[in-house]
Structure 1
């Protein structure tokens, strides 16, 4: 796999299991994320397992859009990842890697750009984001800070 388009890490004074529970629950993740706002499980799913899908509602200023995410990794306490699509168009891949560290853990949030070149302009118009990598770096920083606070660390 190529290098992520945006990534960030933060030490959190909480057990890996606590951090994993926060990032692997789409409802809790919506409380922490900068653009991702809400979710609805699809196809009868009720929790994070590989292959489960959820519809994400996103917002940035006046812009609103929905995506469909498919969970690709759900390694309890260690790793959570999902692929995002807009209809049939791949958009991104998001991953949270949680590693034990003295006094808690280190969580690394990363995203990979998956949009085809032809979809970048319509995507920018729809989301209001013209420099997606820079916006995602800022979003990751904000999400990790909120995650740390939510974990009680």
Structure 2
């Protein structure tokens, strides 16, 4: 029997950098591919502000195994040093992309750096047919927490590199 789909989840980690520095890294969506196991690259859309402000849009290009896809995302929260969040935009013309997920990073100063809470919430599930397909092609999407923990590990490494400081 397949694992159930989790509609939400979170992971946390302390990273050795100030909240403002962590926010700068997270808000630079063009560097997401350096930390994500699935997103290979992201770019601000031409008609959008090229900075992390509410309403700005970017396209993320993803790969997992043989599966490749891209999604338009919109920044829904951008509070420097505190929180950065974006959602995937349902694409009406593409029935395989009518779902939506909010991806969020909450930052809190702690001794030794910043406590980062990375969370997701599926706000609109894929249509049943596509949910079954995703379950076969992308079984890790049933529970994104392990991949998110890897992202935070990579973020911690980025914060430890002298070039990012």
TM-score bin (small chain): 0.7 to 0.9
Whether 1:58 aligns to 2:66 is no
The structure number with the bigger radius of gyration is 2
- What is residue 150 of structure 2 aligned with on the other side? 142
Structure 1 residue 86: Cα displacement? 4.3
Please identify which structure carries the higher strand content.
1
Structure 1 unaligned spans of 5+: none
- What is residue 22 of structure 2 aligned with on the other side? 19
Structure 2 unaligned spans of 5+: 1-5, 93-97
Whether 1:75 aligns to 2:79 is yes
**Alignment length, in residue pairs?**
149
TM-score for the superposition, normalised by structure 1: 0.88
Structure 1 residue 33: Cα displacement? 1.1
Kindly report the root-mean-square deviation, in angstroms, between the aligned alpha carbons of the 2 structures. 2.1
Contact 2:108–2:115, Cα closer than 8 Å, also in 1: yes
TM-score for the superposition, normalised by structure 2: 0.82
Q: Distance in 1 between matches of 2:154 and 2:132?
A: 26
